[in-house]
Amino acid sequence: FTSQFLFSSSHSLSAMDRCSGMVLLSGNSHPELSRLVAERLGIPQGDAVVYNNTCSETTVNIKESVRSKHVFILQTGTKNVNNDIMEMLILIYACRTSTAKSITVVIPYLPYSKQCRVVRRSSIAIKLIADLIDKTGACRVVSMDLYKKELQGFFSIPVDNLRAIHLIIPFIRENVSDFKNAVIVAKNPEVLPKAASYSEKLKCGVAVIHGTYECDRQAAAEPSLPDNATTDDSKSAMSPPLSLVGDVSGKIAIVVDNIIDEAHSFVEAAELLKTRGAYKVYVVGTHGLLSGDAPAIIEDSFITQVIVTNTVPHDLQKMRSHKIRTVDISSLLCEAIRRIYHNESMGILFREMQEH
Q: Which string of DSSP letters, residue by residue, matches 234-293? A: HHHHHSPPPEEES--TTSEEEEEEEEE--SHHHHHHHHHHHHTT-SEEEEEEEEE---TT
Decide: helix, strand or coil at residue 203.
coil
The two beta strands, 252-260 and 243-245, are unpaired
Task: Assign 348 a pLDDT band (cuts: 50, 70, 90).
Answer: confident
pTM for the full model?
0.88
Q: What percent of the chain has pLDDT over 70?
A: 86
> What's the pLDDT score for residue 14?
58
- Those residues with Cβ within 8 angstroms of residue 29's Cβ, 6 or more apart along the chain or in another chain: 75, 76, 77, 78, 80, 84, 87, 313
| Residue 26 per-residue DSSP state | E
Number of residues assigned to the chain: 356
On the question of pLDDT at 113 being above 90, the answer is: yes
| Helix or strand holding residue 43 (H, E) | none
Residue type, 55: C
pLDDT computed for residue 12 by the predictor: 60
Question: Burial letters for 194-222: b for 16+ Cβ neighbours within 10 Å, e otherwise?
Answer: bbebbbebbebebbbbebbbeeeeeeeee
pLDDT of residue 347: 86
Q: What share of the chain is helix, strand, coil (3-state, %, to 5)?
A: 40, 20, 40
Give the dihedral of Cα atoms 293, 297, 299, 300; nearest 10 deg.
140
Q: What is the pLDDT of residue 354?
A: 41
List beta partners, residue 209.
244
Model pLDDT, residue 121: 80
DSSP structure class, residue 45: P
- Residue 119 has a pLDDT of 79
For the segment 162-172, the average pLDDT, to the nearest whole number, is 95
CA 315 to chain centre: 16
The DSSP code for 56 is: S
Average pLDDT on 128-133 reads 97
Average predicted confidence (pLDDT) for the chain = 89
Binning pLDDT at 50, 70 and 90, where does residue 232 land?
A: very low
- Cα 239 to Cα 120, 121, 210, 236, 269: the distances in Å are 19, 23, 10, 5, 16
φ, ψ dihedrals at 9, nearest 5°: -70, -10
pLDDT score recorded for residue 93: 97
- What is the tens place of the pLDDT at every residue in 133-160? 999 999 999 999 999 999 999 999 999 9
Banded pLDDT at 120 (limits 50, 70, 90): confident
pLDDT of res. 349: 85
Report pLDDT for 215: 75
Three-state secondary-structure class, residue 65: coil
Decide if 48 contacts 75 (C-beta within 8 A): no
